Amino acid sequence: MGKTYKPGEKVPVSGQAEIVGPRGGRTGIERTTVKGKVFPPTQQSGQKYLVVDKTKTK
């Protein structure tokens, strides 16, 4: 599993980010993220984001 990011952190690369649980379990819920913006709030505390599909265009 790759690096996870907390809600409110800056997005390092545009693409799809999946919400993962506090112990790393994947939820299947994805959000579209844009480089330079911040990750949005999650549904429950302790959840984080995992970038699963980077945008292929510039």
| DSSP run (H or E) holding 12 | none
Q: Are strands 4-5 and 48-54 parallel, antiparallel or unpaired?
A: antiparallel
Q: For each successive 10 residues of the chain (58 residues), what is the average pLDDT? A: 92 96 93 96 95 88
Q: What was the pLDDT predicted at 58? A: 64
Indicate the number of domains in the chain. Answer: 1
User: Structural domain of residue 11, as residue ranges?
Assistant: 4-54
